A and B are shown apart, each in its own frame.
Chain A
């Protein structure tokens, strides 16, 4: 992002991070108010990873996301109204109220779906990558996953398969220090998950996942490599999950001091200060961006709340194309 044309682009990336933060904060509030059934997993603190990675993708590229996937969907261009409507279970939601927070997809944007199973996305990403090869397009697939998923067998099957077939896949590990309640330092055999890439003969790159520009740069190189037909990359974005595993999580497994420490490394503050130093962002602009995002979110909530509930019988629809 060195050209002059990228000024607007950088502001747009900042705005997307603000949108994700706003969306997640709002989702937390809606959940606390009893308006979201089930449970939700927020990605506050991980915005630089979602936005940095998706900033290098084309609209026709695919992403496979996780149960903590709101940020990925927004960064890939997801519709806020349909997202909120899905979270509150209305028929205007992305999945007509059949998926909820953990199962948002938008096939028109290449978002092949969030997954409620940790590590469930790896094999699907392999299939999308194989399909790209067979169809001879030069799309790429991004497979987002967490540190916990890197301990599942599907991770290892997928790394091997993507490597032997040189599939155009960027595996993005969002190492947010905890798999549910289990610290990564306890559950992972090596300090860097990216080190596992060596065992599969693919590049493994670890970056500061709270640094938008670092993520953007590393993801850009990996995506270019994939488009050139040189195969997959494993990118590990070291970041932190500021909220509990799910909303309402008592979080007995960590200290307030630790959370406060990471708050100082906030990806939004960090990028804003870079932009301000470069004189690409002013306090006024920042306020304006926040206001625009708030308005959009208010509108999305109004849309969702005014939307109809699905009729009970709709539970029987959409299973098969030809029942």
Chain B
């Protein structure tokens, strides 16, 4: 498999093109897809290449998600575009009460091969209705798999895995990362759901992160290296099911952990990871697990305010310095 440089938006498009060509049961449903190629241009070319299989919907989020579910129950493999992740709130019954529970509630009678694709995240001055990171809500709803990729190769590989999954997957992808470039393997490239990746090996402390937090963490690790601190960076990629083995192996080596995410602090996924590390790896810890996250406010509009609320590279650097006792 050769690799080329693609951005994350192109990686989404490539994954969908390959999968739709492979399996006729796959279709895309959402708002502004056909004429616009998706609100971020992420589906450009697909409506022409697969006529009738990219379906523009009225602005009816409950019915968009529910239609995906009903189609999944009757033999299709729908890919539902939420437009902005914030709009999952308009379809919470369909996601949490229906999609997540149907297989279980009906005693395993049916498969639910549905992907809910939700562009999330802040940093674009889009204010509080277009900037949230809501992944931890869905981690808390049994019956869903939750994916949050960062690098383009993982976007492609995880999306292909999500589309092929017989279980419902909610796939968050950061809007600001659509333009991020990186090497992406051509053709069949699958990243299995539920496996984290050690993206930067290190020995002094483990940074556990995903989505936009990944880039922040890699830059922090680079700065920390200059200070003689060798941080290991793990991109969790799938939050549920969580690859705790990879986390445990790293912490048994580094004895220190910092969790980094863009979602706000309280009740965030960092709390879950931190709790599990404390209960299962306490004997290996040389310092309390620290969390780096956004402030607990709705995302403000003005760039100066937004920047203040969001976690920064320097926060990650400081947290790692703290767990390695380089800073009080």
Contact = CB atoms under 8 A, between A and B. Distances in A.
Contacts of A321: 103, 111, 165-167
Contacts of A107: 73, 106, 109-110
Interface string B94-111: 100110001111111111
B67 interface: yes
Given A105-B106, A120-B98, A154-B62, A128 B142 contact: no
B72 interface: yes
Given A98-B105, A318-B108, A157 B69 contact: no
Interface residues of B, number: 45
A235 interface: no
B143 A128 contact: no
A113 B71 CA distance: 14
A83 to B, nearest CB: 13
B19 to A, nearest CB: 16
Interface of B: 27, 29, 52-53, 55, 57-58, 60, 62-76, 78, 93-94, 97-98, 102-111, 142-143, 145, 165-167, 241
Nearest to B78: A127
Contact of B165 (A120, A158, A161, A322): A322
A94 B63 CA distance: 27
Contacts of B63: 122-123, 126, 154, 157-158, 161
A162 to B, nearest CB: 9
B interface: dominant SS:
mixed
Q: Most B CB atoms within 10 A — which of A62, A117, A124, A127? A: A127
Nearest to B74: A131
Q: Most A CB atoms within 10 A — which of B106, B142, B166? A: B106
A70 to B, nearest CB: 15
Chain A, interface residues (CB within 8 Å), range: 35 or more
A122 B67 CA distance: 9
30 contacts: A95-B105, A103-B106, A107-B109, A107-B110, A113-B106, A117-B93, A117-B98, A120-B93, A123-B64, A123-B94, A124-B69, A127-B78, A128-B73, A131-B70, A131-B75, A134-B52, A134-B76, A135-B74, A154-B66, A157-B58, A157-B62, A160-B60, A161-B60, A318-B108, A319-B142, A320-B143, A320-B145, A322-B165, A322-B167, A323-B241
B269 to A, nearest CB: 20
Contacts of B105: 95, 98-99, 103, 113
A161 B58 contact: yes
A127 B167 contact: no
Contacts of B73: 107, 112-113, 124, 127-128
A153 B92 CA distance: 13
A258 to B, nearest CB: 33
B70 A124 contact: yes
A107 B143 CA distance: 19
Q: Most B CB atoms within 10 A — which of A107, A124, A158, A322? A: A124
Contact of B104 (A127, A153, A157, A319): A319
A97 B107 CA distance: 7
B111 A127 contact: no
A64 B73 CA distance: 11
Given A157-B62, A157-B63, A129 B109 contact: no
Interface in A153-203: 153-154, 157-158, 160-161, 164
The 3 residue pairs across chains A and B that have the minimum distance between CB atoms: A123-B66, A127-B70, A318-B108
B27 A134 contact: yes
A94 B105 CA distance: 10
Nearest to B53: A134
A107 B106 CA distance: 9
Nearest to B29: A130
Given A161-B58, A161-B60, A321-B166, A134 B71 contact: yes
Contacts of A127: 66-74, 78
Interface of A: 62, 64, 93-99, 103, 105-107, 112-113, 115-117, 120, 122-132, 134-135, 153-154, 157-158, 160-161, 164, 317-323
B18 to A, nearest CB: 20
Contacts of A97: 107
A323 to B, nearest CB: 7
Contacts of B65: 123
Contacts of B78: 127
Contact of A112 (B70, B93, B94): B70
Given A105-B109, A120-B93, A134-B53, 10 more contacts: A94-B109, A95-B109, A129-B70, A131-B74, A135-B75, A157-B58, A319-B103, A319-B143, A320-B103, A321-B103
Given A98-B104, A131-B76, A322-B166, A126 B109 contact: no
A93 B241 CA distance: 29
A320 to B, nearest CB: 5
A112 B76 CA distance: 14
Contacts of A98: 104-107
A321 B108 CA distance: 8
A120 B97 contact: yes
A107 to B, nearest CB: 5
A86 B62 CA distance: 29
B160 to A, nearest CB: 15
Contacts of B29: 130
A105 B71 CA distance: 16
